[in-house]
Amino acid sequence: MKIIFLSTGRGLRPEFISGLRERLGLHESDVVGLVSWQRPRFPLPVDRHLVLGPHLRVAGTLATVQRVQRQREPIATAVEELGAEELGAESPGDNTSLPKAAPATPRLPALHPRRMKQAVAWRVRRLKRAERIRRLERAKRTQEPSRLTGIRTHPLFRKVRNRLSPGVSLSFAASCLRAGMVHDLIRDADLVVALDAASQRGAWTLAQRVSDPEVVIGIPAAKYVIDHRRESTPL
């Protein structure tokens, strides 16, 4: 039997997949696949795993972001070497010692990206501070909550906003709809299980596209389908 799990959660661990196999009563010969939105931190004990969520790839491989340390400007080093060469070119009998000049400190141009970035950050902090002071003064004058704030915190407003916003559920369903590899993975599967609420729309989309496997929501429904199939299948 081939079972495919759909998940949009972050806490995908090997222990979680092993617990699913135990709860469903799967055999060692059963094939388990996974279609997830987040990339797990550890390898999972599944036969095939497809990640639909956004992740950085460079030249077909997963890219690792590393902090690049900027090298120091070689201006001061060049000045010191030039001073050493001039002093070495003097006659050895000359006992007069010239005072050492302080090495020149390199300064960035006025339009350098680093200086411009610091200037923009300073102005943003200044504007935020002015806006925070202005808001505190306005709150002291009014001493009553804003009507717009009350609307935003209302449970009905949050419910409508969550329904209208695309979120992970719609993105996961759209990715399942576009990805041909997902269709090929579940085409010969016996059961597709949506593990969380955000993956239910993706399961419904796959059920409309591919009619071969049974699509259920939750572990109890998957357990019922598996037990029913094993009871109806002759040994």
The answer to whether the beta carbons of residues 92 and 212 sit under 8 Å apart is no
- Rg of the Cα trace of the chain? 32
211 lies in the same domain as 176: yes
225 lies in the same domain as 183: yes
Of 47-61, 83-97, 118-132, least confident by mean pLDDT is: 83-97
Could you tell me the CATH number of the domain that includes residue 31? 3.40.50
pLDDT at 15: 93
What phi and psi values does residue 225 have, to the nearest 5 degrees? -65, -45
220 lies in the same domain as 177: yes
DSSP character for 118? H
pLDDT at 67: 36
172 lies in the same domain as 213: yes
Residue 123 lies inside a defined structural domain of this protein: yes
Mean pLDDT calculated for residue range 18-34: 91
CA dist 213 and 208 (Å) reads 11
Residue 222 lies inside a defined structural domain of this protein: yes
Residue 97 lies inside a defined structural domain of this protein: no
Residue 94 lies inside a defined structural domain of this protein: no
Q: Compute CA distances 160 → 111, 145, 154, 156, 196, whole Å.
A: 47, 22, 10, 6, 20
138 lies in the same domain as 179: no
Residue 149 lies inside a defined structural domain of this protein: no
CA dist 8 and 131 (Å) reads 38
Residue 161 lies inside a defined structural domain of this protein: no
10 lies in the same domain as 49: yes
CA dist 91 and 216 (Å) reads 93
Q: Binning pLDDT at 50, 70 and 90, where does residue 105 land?
A: low
pLDDT at 193: 94
pLDDT at 209: 86
pLDDT at 31: 92
pLDDT at 54: 67
Looking at the chain, the whole-number percentage of residues with pLDDT higher than 90 is 21
Residue 73 lies inside a defined structural domain of this protein: no
Between residues 62 and 26, the one the model is more confident about: 26
Structural domain boundaries enclosing 183: 2-54+167-232
Q: Is the pTM of this model over 0.75?
A: no
Report the domain count for the chain: 2
Residue 150 lies inside a defined structural domain of this protein: no
Using the predicted structure, report yes or no on whether residue 99 has a pLDDT greater than 60. Answer: no
Average pLDDT, the chain: 76
pLDDT at 91: 47
Q: Binning pLDDT at 50, 70 and 90, where does residue 59 land?
A: very low
Mean pLDDT calculated for residue range 174-198: 89
pLDDT at 115: 83
138 lies in the same domain as 174: no
Q: Binning pLDDT at 50, 70 and 90, where does residue 96 land?
A: low
Q: Is 46 helix (H, G, I), strand (E, B) or coil?
A: coil
169: left (phi over 0), alpha (psi -120 to 50) or beta: alpha
